[in-house]
Structure 1
């Protein structure tokens, strides 16, 4: 079984450094060791949700516009582990998306510029897509500024502070990304240990699904599904960005991911609470 997070007291396998991010940490051995030394030991943190001996239910809350107006917030809050993605806000949207957060899974450019989770038990799970993401995560854990050199490698503004304590940070095992890409989506492996520009990468949503399968016995999705035939429909529940914006994405394969999700939902392995991918409760 894949360990979903990396810990300083659990030895790292050589496989961890075979590939560059996001498949591994090749060339980043020192930075990874430095970051892990700032994080807690695996045995010093409380169990996530109900703990490993209970039947645990996960919901991965996407940011899809399909969530708007469904008032699923109270249902979402009943799950044992609630995984949220990137900067998806709560607050005024809590009626549709809930108030509780177990995990906010993100990378620097996707993280909320202003922290939105009031749940005292919330964890930030850092996903590393490039080397500078490790440096940024270290800066957030240590509550220090990101270096001017590192700022040059971000493609949009990133937070300069995540108001959590060190024991609330986790580093995602890149094997979760690798497993999602190679085993679930059947993407070809990268060549030469490098992640090429033409290589497809999984969205953080599908990667979160794989993470949820490692943490829970039952997995549900909410706010997933891209209907590219409705180009004017809202892409997110919290803004007016149209669905057509996904057509500009070159690093993700929407068709491949939709096919995977439909197969999992139709087969009963995963439940779709909003019916945005495969609606079993629609007429």
Structure 2
């Protein structure tokens, strides 16, 4: 009887020891796994969060829920460029656009677009987002505050450098840079461009679309409301056309219908917001003395480019200020 009792006691002791070892091993394993989890879950969660972001910059322009003001205005689905795939202009947009500059005998807009895309490609690969990419844009305005700014190297360091109208770079490279990837013009503001620079035509009337065809072929159009070049030395593959729908989107969503239509500067800025992940502005606003003039002009008090009569400069400046305050863009004010 005593032997049986001792045997049962030994079995109980062994079982208790096995149970204790099992529990201890489990707790050690759980603790180690928990430490590994906490050690690696942070970076992993941050990595997964980054995969949901539209770009690889510290901040991404198209990222939502940063500013309600921005989200109410920014609509990524509106295409900035007119292409073969989105060549139909809505009736409301056409009605607004066709009254920007009057025409005596306007060709049917759909026919003009069809004829234009027989000459230029009409493709667009600028809107493809990539979570691994951080595409930077420098939008270079024409303000006199660029004089002696020494911004040239910084401007040229961007992926895309956007300029507009008559803006020269020769003799001003230290302040405005030397590179240009996209140059925004309308027929009346055309200037000769270097090779491999995309000409972005901002059309204000059907004749502007016809002018592209003429300037690349017959050269029959030499006057709209002002003289325009008969021929242009631009590769047809480098010609892009600003979409009238996008112009109206800016006028409605961003300008809230202030002025008659957006300035070339604002058209360039909102364009950049849609194609780039980070946007820096140079050459916008007055100089440090309050003068409004072009950086290549010798008379700072002329106020030339503020006296247009068709743009609401104050409201556009407010938009730029708001975009700056919510860190969607950065403005370099120069001198």
Tell me what 1:224 maps to.
284
Shift of 1:234: 5.7
Partner of 2:84: helix, strand, or coil? coil
Partner of 1:201: helix, strand, or coil? coil
Q: Aligned equivalents of 1:58 and 1:227: distance in 2?
A: 22
Partners of 1:226 and 1:243 within 8 A in 2: no
RMSD: 2.8
Tell me what 1:163 maps to.
233
Distance 1:128 1:253, change over 3 A: same
Query: So what's the TM-score if we normalise by structure 2?
Result: 0.67
Aligned pair count reads 251
User: 1:148-187, aligned counterparts within 5 Å?
Assistant: 151=223, 153-155=224-226, 157-187=227-257
Tell me what 1:39 maps to.
120
Tell me what 1:74 maps to.
153
Larger radius of gyration: 2
Tell me what 1:12 maps to.
88
Distance 1:226 1:77, change over 3 A: same
Tell me what 2:206 maps to.
131
CA distances 1:93-130 after superposition (whole Å, capped 9, x unpaired): 11111111110011011222xx1x43x32100110112
Structure 2 residue runs of 5 or longer lacking an equivalent are 1-76
Shift of 1:176: 2.0
Shift of 1:3: 1.7
Shift of 1:160: 3.0
Q: Which one of 250, 259, 272 corresponds to residue 309 of structure 2?
A: 250
Shift of 1:275: 5.3
Tell me what 2:33 maps to.
none
Distance 1:201 1:93, change over 3 A: same
* The structure with more helix, counted as a fraction of residues: 2
Tell me what 1:237 maps to.
295
Q: Aligned equivalents of 1:30 and 1:146: distance in 2?
A: 18
Distance 1:146 1:177, change over 3 A: same
Q: Aligned equivalents of 1:178 and 1:228: distance in 2?
A: 33
Tell me what 1:104 maps to.
183
Distance 1:12 1:162, change over 3 A: same
CA distances 1:173-227 after superposition (whole Å, capped 9, x unpaired): 1122112211111116xxxxxxxxxx52110000111110111011111000036
Structure 1 residue runs of 5 or longer lacking an equivalent are 189-198, 277-283
Distance 1:35 1:249, change over 3 A: same
